[in-house]
Structures are given as structure tokens and as C-alpha cells.
Amino acid sequence: MMKGESIVPEQAMKPFSTAYQSDRIKLVDAIPLSVPLCVSLEPTNICNFRCLMCWQGMEEYRHRGGPFMNMSADVFHKALQDMEDICAKGGSLIKLVKLYFAGEPLLNKNIGEMLRELKEAGVCQQVEVTTNASLLSAELSRAFVDYGLDYLRASIYSVYTDNHRRITQTEVPPNEIRDNIAYLRKYRDEQNKQKPYISAKIIDTHSEENDQFKEFYSGVSDEAWIDVPWDVAGTQEKALDRLYGSEGAGFEARKEYHETSLFKKRKACRYPFTHLVIKSNGDVVVCCMDWPRQTKLGNIMEESLVNIWEGKKLYDFRVMQLKTHGAGHPLCGTCEVPLRDCAEDDIDTLDIRKLTYTGEEME
């Protein structure tokens, strides 16, 4: 199936909380991939929230996370053309395009138009947006429904006004966010549509607020679920200590997270083999944890996405992951994301000789 074909019928939409666990491939047998499974396009790296557990709320991000900007039309259209080219060359579609990364995507006033053009280009099976929903206007909600957004994930930080103010460091009330999401669902249902599937999630509060959250969003989102927290890679500040209020509480959260993870020790990360992120200025980095651009591979305004995906820099990064599991790398060395992988994601036994760059097999 290629450009213009409908891949996932509306009646087949799966809950976001389980969608990533279905239809998985055994990566060690599938690599190398001709087309990335997922591309993240960053509409902006600016946010209107300063959440305690996020890089946006940390002093390090303000000093090292820039340049701070919205993605321009020129960068977006180059990214779109490059995705069309990589799909044509690879003979398949990108499985998922995420219209978000380090910032609040709805701050880019062109987000609706970006979705429309992305859908019309037919380069991917699905499009997903993650947002704090504080800027989810009625007009934007209608655009998301009319243009066929597949998943909207609403990151909720608290259902209590005082706690929401503490975590987000804003004055936006939880009721306002809920009302925005309620309008999106109402308009979607009035149009007899199934998309976007609306998923509301909150980071585990370790309290009765988990149940209050589920009740608060009952009948508003399609699902309300509890997310597992983790620390931000590459920072001195400990996100979980900040979120839960103390080193002790942060330690307990980390302990519970590790106990529930499938993998308990460092392993090769799948992201260099499956994902790409295009930052708001066109920089391409390996994964969605790289807020300081420490895995930068190039810039799409200077070279093509095809060349970056098949190039020497990414080849070397993949080899590094297989040989060292990221140990010693300024970002990967502190990243816990690979521990959350599924069994099918384990690539520790991948034969390095299967990897290529610029079309040539390497010894």
C-alpha cells in the first residue's frame, strides 16, 4: 500500500495504551529497515508549561535546548518531500508519524495545516499528536477530526487545581483542559467519526488521584490510563525527585519502575534502527529523548533524509549501540528507555555484518 491508500479503517482503531504492543515485528530478524518505523516531526520545541519532571521545567533545557523556534513552512515541506522520497525508495510507508517532540505542538499555529498536508501526502499509516490540551481550541479540534488525525494523546498532570499549578507551573485549571477534550470528542462523535482516538494519561501519582483522574475523564476521553514515569536522560536534575517532592519518593518510584520493566540491565537501544526525529530547525536526531541534540546526524536543509538514514553517522551510532549498549555516551549512558522495550525489541544478538551504509556491506 502506498500513497493515498487508507491503511487503518476507523472501525479498527485500537486503544493507544495497547496499540504499541500489537502487530509487533521481531526486530533482530527485520533489521536493516529500508524505511524507519517512526518519524517524529517537531512543530515547536517551545512549551507553555514548565512541568517539574520534564526538560521544559529544568534550567539545563533553557541553556542547552535551543535554538527555540517553531518549525517553518520551508523545513516542514522539505521534511515532507524527504519522507515521500524515502518511502518511494524503500517501497513502504512509515508506520507512524508523531507531530510532537520537545515542545507543545499546538503552539505552532500551522499544526492543523501540517496534519492536512501530511495526510494528503500519504507517507505514513498513522499520525499521532501528544499535547497538554490547554490550547486545544474548538477550531483546532474540528481540524483534527476533519483532517483525519488518528491518535490524540492528552498528557494530564493533575486533576487537582493546586497540584496542577505546582507541577505545570502555570495557572491553567484542570477543568479547562477537560472541557477542551470534551469538545473534541463531542465534535468527533457528531461527525460519526472514530478518529482521533482520544487517550488521556497521567503519570502515576502513587495516590488516590489515579482513581480520581479516571473518574474525571470517564465519558470524555476514550480511555484514561496511568503512565509509568522515568528520569530525563542527560540531565543533572532528577525528574522523579522533582515530581514526587523528595529524593526518597523519587527513589521509590524508580525502584517500582525497574521492578516492572522486562529488562533489568543495559541493552542495545532499538531507536537508531527504527526511529528518526526531525527537530524544529531541521536537525535530525536519533530519538525522542535527545533534547540537547547529542545524537545529531545532520540537517534536512543540508542533506536528504534518505542519506541520513543510510549514512555513515547513523551506521556508526548503530554499531556503538550493539557494541557498548550506549555506555559512556553523554545521553545514552543515562537513558532508561531501552529497559521498557518489549521482548520483540531485543537486538543484542544482531549481527553487525547485517548493517550497511551508503549501500555497501561492511565487515
Which triple of cell numbers denotes residue 297? 546526524
User: 245's torsion region: left (phi>0), alpha (psi -120 to 50) or beta?
Assistant: left
Section 334-351 average pLDDT: 92
Helix (H) or strand (E) holding 168: helix 161-168
Return the ∠ at Cα 329 (arms to 327 and 331), rounded to 5°: 115
Residue type, 335: C
Nearest to 269 by CA among 328, 320, 227: 320
pLDDT over 80 at 21, yes or no: no
Flag whether pLDDT at 164 surpasses 70: yes
Rounded Cα–Cα distance for residues 301 and 310 (Å): 17
Better-scored residue on pLDDT, 321 or 235? 321
| Radius of gyration over every alpha carbon of the chain, rounded to an integer in angstroms | 20
Q: Are 14 and 22 in contact (CB under 8 A)?
A: yes
pTM, whole model, 2 decimals?
0.93
Structure letter (DSSP) for residue 107 = G
Q: What is the pLDDT of residue 229?
A: 80
β-bridge partners, 201: 155, 225
pLDDT at 11: 56
Mean pLDDT, the chain, integer? 92
Burial 162-180, CB ≥16 within 10 A → b, else e = eebbebbebebebeebbeb
With bands split at pLDDT 50, 70 and 90, how would you rate the model's confidence at 161? very high
What's the start-to-end Cα distance of the chain, in Å? 34
- Residue 215 pLDDT more than 90? yes
pLDDT of 361 reads 41
Q: In the prediction, which pLDDT does 340 show?
A: 86
Rounded CA gap, 298 and 305, in Å? 9
| 22-30 contacts at long range (C-beta below 8 A, 24 or more positions apart) | 24/342, 24/344, 24/345, 25/344, 26/344, 27/270, 27/273, 27/274, 27/344, 27/345, 27/346, 27/347, 27/350, 28/346, 28/347, 28/349, 28/350
